[in-house]
């Protein structure tokens, strides 16, 4: 499918990752460069827009959010949730254009009600959850609804998961909130290793490498998580001891409760 132009309203870190994923291979050959879409950026985040426009010749920076829209097949909404109405004020999309939101906790209905267009009901609006790995083409991006042009757009940055409805998207959005918690877990293990007498210059590379070695098993979606866990521990072994000691009913319950709280926020409740 042809995507000739993509506009971005808001140029934060996720938008930058998407732009990198969309354009980073464009310089590999003249053919790829010719296939890369034109990218139009709103004037937000001037330092970031200046850096990106210097790096990629396909990028133009315009003077207003409204100027992002003309000629764009897809308009990406990438502002903070509390900026939606302000960002879309005066923005008029036409039927045939797609408004792609990357915002957590902001429903399609709310976005549609903020549109200035008299034909707002005819505008296709898609919600998505792109994460930083899209910059390297390693993203797994849930979208709803499964508009083919948007699926093609994210296919250029990794894989696409079409979910059934916004409720499911909110659940997946809540799951992404575990990222820094997982990193904090690893950081605590690093700190414990140092406190137990190992130099940090040895402890951190080792612990990080141990955790990173799990990546192939995690990426093998054909194996259930129970199978993955069982394949990395021996009955009565050290891994089983730590897992069953730490993840008792109380700890697991606290994690589920915290996820419930994040889910309420991600659902806009």
The domain total for the chain is 2
Q: In terms of Cα–Cα distance, which of 19, 49, 40 is closest to 136?
A: 19
Please check whether residues 99 and 25 belong to one and the same domain. yes
Give the domain CATH number at 85.
3.40.50.720
Is residue 227 in some structural domain?
Answer: yes
Please check whether residues 159 and 208 belong to one and the same domain. no
* pLDDT above 70 for 15: yes
Domain stops at, among 109, 132, 165: 165
Is residue 171 in some structural domain?
Answer: no
Please check whether residues 210 and 108 belong to one and the same domain. no
Q: Please identify which residue in the block is written with the tokens 């129970």.
A: 226
Residue 81 among known ligand-binding residues: yes
How many CB atoms are closer than 10 A to CB 133? 15
Domain stops at, among 165, 194, 229: 165
Residue 80 among known ligand-binding residues: yes
pLDDT of residue 101: 98
- Distance of alpha carbon 113 from alpha carbon 36, whole angstroms: 32
Can you give the residue range of the structural domain that contains 226? 179-266
Token pair of 212 as six digits: 């990173």
Q: What is the pLDDT of residues 30-73, one digit of tens each?
A: 555 567 899 999 988 889 999 999 999 999 999 999 999 999 99
Q: Please identify which residue in the block is written with the tokens 């990222």.
A: 179
Please check whether residues 57 and 108 belong to one and the same domain. yes
Counting every residue written for the chain, the total comes to 269
Q: Contacts for 44-53 with beta carbons within 8 Å, 24 or more apart? A: 44/9, 44/10, 44/11, 44/12, 44/79, 45/10, 45/11, 45/12, 48/11, 48/12, 48/16, 49/11, 52/11, 52/16, 52/19
Please check whether residues 206 and 124 belong to one and the same domain. no
Domain stops at, among 165, 199, 232: 165
CB-based contact 50:44 (threshold 8 Å): no
Buried b or exposed e, range 13-37, using 16+ CB within 10 angstroms: ebbbbbbbbbbbebeeeeeeeeebb
Please check whether residues 113 and 31 belong to one and the same domain. yes
Q: What is the pLDDT of residues 108-130, one digit of tens each?
A: 999 999 997 778 889 999 999 99
Please check whether residues 125 and 186 belong to one and the same domain. no
Task: Name the average pLDDT for the chain.
Answer: 93
pLDDT of residue 1: 64
Residue 239 among known ligand-binding residues: no
Please check whether residues 139 and 32 belong to one and the same domain. yes
Residue 266 among known ligand-binding residues: no
Give the domain CATH number at 215.
1.10.3730.10
**Bridge partners, residue 142, by sequence:** 161
Please check whether residues 49 and 158 belong to one and the same domain. yes
Please check whether residues 103 and 213 belong to one and the same domain. no
* pLDDT above 70 for 265: yes
Q: What is the pTM of this model?
A: 0.88
Please check whether residues 113 and 91 belong to one and the same domain. yes
Please check whether residues 157 and 242 belong to one and the same domain. no
DSSP 154-171: HHTTEEEEE-SSHHHHHH
pLDDT of residue 119: 80
Segment 216-237 shows an average pLDDT of 95
- Distance of alpha carbon 82 from alpha carbon 86, whole angstroms: 8
Peptide bond into 155 cis (omega under 30): no
Is residue 172 in some structural domain?
Answer: no
Segment 134-139 shows an average pLDDT of 92
Is residue 235 in some structural domain?
Answer: yes
Is residue 174 in some structural domain?
Answer: no
């Amino acid at each position: 499918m042809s995507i000739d132009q993509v506009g971005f309203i808001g140029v934060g870190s996720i938008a930058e990752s998407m732009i990198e994923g969309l354009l980073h291979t464009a310089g590999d050959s003249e053919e790829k460069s010719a296939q890369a879409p034109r990218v139009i950026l709103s004037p937000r985040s001037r330092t970031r827009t200046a850096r990106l426009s210097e790096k990629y010749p396909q990028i133009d920076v315009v003077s207003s959010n409204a100027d992002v829209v003309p000629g764009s097949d897809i308009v990406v909404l990438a502002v903070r949730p509390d900026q939606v109405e302000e960002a879309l004020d005066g923005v008029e999309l036409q039927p045939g254009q797609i408004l792609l939101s990357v915002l957590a906790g902001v429903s399609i209905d709310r976005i549609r009600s903020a549109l200035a267009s008299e034909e707002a009901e005819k505008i296709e609006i898609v919600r998505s959850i792109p994460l930083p790995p899209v910059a390297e083409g390693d993203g797994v991006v849930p979208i709803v609804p499964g508009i083919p042009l948007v699926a093609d757009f994210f296919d250029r940055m990794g894989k696409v998961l079409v979910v059934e409805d916004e409720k499911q998207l909110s659940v997946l959005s809540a799951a992404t909130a575990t990222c820094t918690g997982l990193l904090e877990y690893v950081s605590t293990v690093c700190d414990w290793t140092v406190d137990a007498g190992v130099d940090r210059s040895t402890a951190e590379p080792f612990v990080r490498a141990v955790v990173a070695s799990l990546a192939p098993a995690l990426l093998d979606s054909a194996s259930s998580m129970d199978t993955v866990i069982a394949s990395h521990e021996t009955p009565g072994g050290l891994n089983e001891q730590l897992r069953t000691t730490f993840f008792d009913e109380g700890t697991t319950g606290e994690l589920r409760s915290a996820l419930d709280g994040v889910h309420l926020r991600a659902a806009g409740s």
